[in-house]
Amino acid sequence: MLMENIISAVYERKALWDPAHPLHKNAVVLKNLWGEIGQALNTPEKIARNKWKNARDYYRRELKRKEVRGQNEEPVSSTWPYFQQMAFLRDVIMADMDNCDKQFSTLPWPRTLQRSPRPAGKDRKEGTPGKRKREEEEQEAAEDDMHFFKSLMPHMKDMPSTKKLRLRAQILDLFLLQEDDELEN
């Protein structure tokens, strides 16, 4: 019952859930709105806010599941009891997911990942560089990699944490694919 009341209370306060609302980024207004909700429901503001965040995140996951299942032509339905009540968020969340996909597709990703050069063996007779030379090469490779990752920071700065996690997972997947390719060759 409390969850239904929280969802209804948030729905009535559009600034809390609609990024297009002019007061959506005003921290003072948002804090006051959460205070109103806590007072109206006779529950601590922090608990109401956490329950809302969990419900919103769960609704987002359910939408993603429906979207994936819908692509497979399987029946699409959610058994979560608050799914229909949270439907007012659908357009906002779908727009957010679309923006995330577009943002990732426009990043200047290389087609293949290049591994940093590995230091040569210690056998000097084969013409391998000395220890100091290897250390310099390793340091240059590490600096090059660091510059690349730092170049991504402006793109990631304003990205919500869930999108950052998705991006990091995609980067790790690319590394794993590169490792698999090297093992096959």
Residue listed under structure tokens 């007072």: 39
pLDDT for residue 143: 80
pTM to 2 decimals? 0.51
pLDDT for residue 178: 79
What is the overall mean pLDDT for the chain?
79
Burial call 69-95: b when 16+ CB within 10 Å, e when fewer:
eeeeeeeeebeeebbebbeebeeebee
pLDDT for residue 183: 75
pLDDT for residue 43: 93
Examine the pLDDT at 144 and tell me if it is beyond 80: no
Tell me the DSSP string of the chain: -HHHHHHHHHHH-GGGT-TTSTTTT-HHHHHHHHHHHHHHHTS-HHHHHHHHHHHHHHHHHHHHHHHHHHHTT-------TTTTGGGGGHHHHHHHHHHHHHHHHTS---SSPPPPPPPP-S-GGGT---HHHHHHHHHHHHHHHHHHHHHHHHHHTT--HHHHHHHHHHHHHHHHHHHHHHHH-
Cα atoms in the 13 Å half-sphere on the side-chain side of 86? 24
CA distance from start to end of the chain: 59
pLDDT for residue 42: 93
Q: Indicate the range of 106-110, 153-157, 178-182 predicted with least confidence.
A: 106-110
pLDDT-derived band at 34, boundaries 50, 70, 90: very high
pLDDT-derived band at 109, boundaries 50, 70, 90: low
Average pLDDT over residues 53-78: 76
In sequence order, what are the residues at sequence separation of 6 or more whose Cβ sits closer than 8 angstroms to the Cβ of residue 169?
A: none
